[in-house]
């Protein structure tokens, strides 16, 4: 990212730090925060050990760096952020987002029925919804509020 160091009072990132990985994102983005600034983000986390093969394979392919919430908290503390709060989002709150996404997927499939690239992208998103529907007790979204 092309920002000057110390640019932001707050960096807010919902469900996108997986592009970097939790630890790498916290390390690389810190320079953009002002002293005393806040990093607020959500990330996928494992909620139970030994998930079924289908969900494990899906997330090994999509987000192999996914950890348990407790492991992410250790990373936050090791990087010397001040952890203000961390909590697991309720399954119902996740479904509020997923249900809107699923509705959009249906509409977009019709609109882009002749565009294979978009249809492939929509299928990836539908697969994530289907996996969550079957295995949400094994993983979810954790929310973190920390200070630089």
Q: Which residues contact 54 (CB under 8 A, 6 or more apart)?
A: 131, 134, 135
Mean pLDDT within 22-41 = 96
**Exposed e or buried b for every residue in 27-46, given b needs 16+ CB within 10 A?**
eebbebbeeebbbbbbbbbb
Q: Containing H/E element for 44?
A: strand 33-46
Query: What band does 40 get if pLDDT is binned at 50, 70 and 90?
Result: very high
The whole-model pTM stands at 0.87
* CA neighbor of 144 nearest in space, from 74, 56, 49: 74
Write the DSSP symbol of residue 19: G
Mean pLDDT within 67-84 = 97
Percent of the chain past pLDDT 90, that is, above it, reads: 93
pLDDT of 115 higher than 90: yes
Which tens digit of pLDDT belongs to each residue from 51-65? 999 999 999 999 999
SS3 43: strand
What is the spatial distance between Cα 41 and Cα 142, in angstroms, rounded to a whole number?
8
pLDDT of 18 higher than 90: no
Mean pLDDT within 10-21 = 91
Please provide the average confidence, as pLDDT, over all residues in the chain: 95
Q: Containing H/E element for 39?
A: strand 33-46
Least confident range from 1-5, 22-26, 61-65, 72-76: namely 1-5
pLDDT of 80 higher than 90: yes
The fold for domain 8-147 equals Rossmann fold (3.40.50)
Mean pLDDT within 73-99 = 95
pLDDT of 1 higher than 90: no
Q: At what angle do helices 116-135 and 91-111 cross, to 10 degrees?
A: 160
> Taking the domains of the chain in order of start, what are their residue ranges?
8-147
* CA neighbor of 82 nearest in space, from 31, 15, 35, 22: 35
């Amino acid at each position: 990212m092309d920002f000057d160091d110390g640019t932001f009072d707050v960096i807010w990132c919902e469900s996108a730090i997986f592009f970097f990985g939790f630890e790498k994102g916290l390390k690389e983005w810190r320079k953009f925060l002002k002293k005393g600034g806040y990093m607020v983000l959500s990330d996928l986390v494992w909620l139970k050990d030994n998930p079924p093969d289908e969900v494990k394979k899906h997330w090994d392919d999509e987000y192999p760096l996914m950890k348990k919430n407790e492991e992410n908290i250790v990373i936050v503390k090791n990087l010397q952020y001040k952890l203000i709060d961390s909590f697991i989002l309720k399954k119902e709150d996740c479904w509020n987002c997923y249900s809107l996404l699923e509705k959009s997927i249906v509409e977009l499939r019709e609109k882009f029925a002749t565009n294979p690239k978009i249809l492939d992208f929509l299928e990836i998103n539908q697969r994530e919804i289907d996996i969550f529907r079957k295995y949400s007790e094994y993983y979810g979204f954790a929310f973190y509020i920390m200070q630089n």
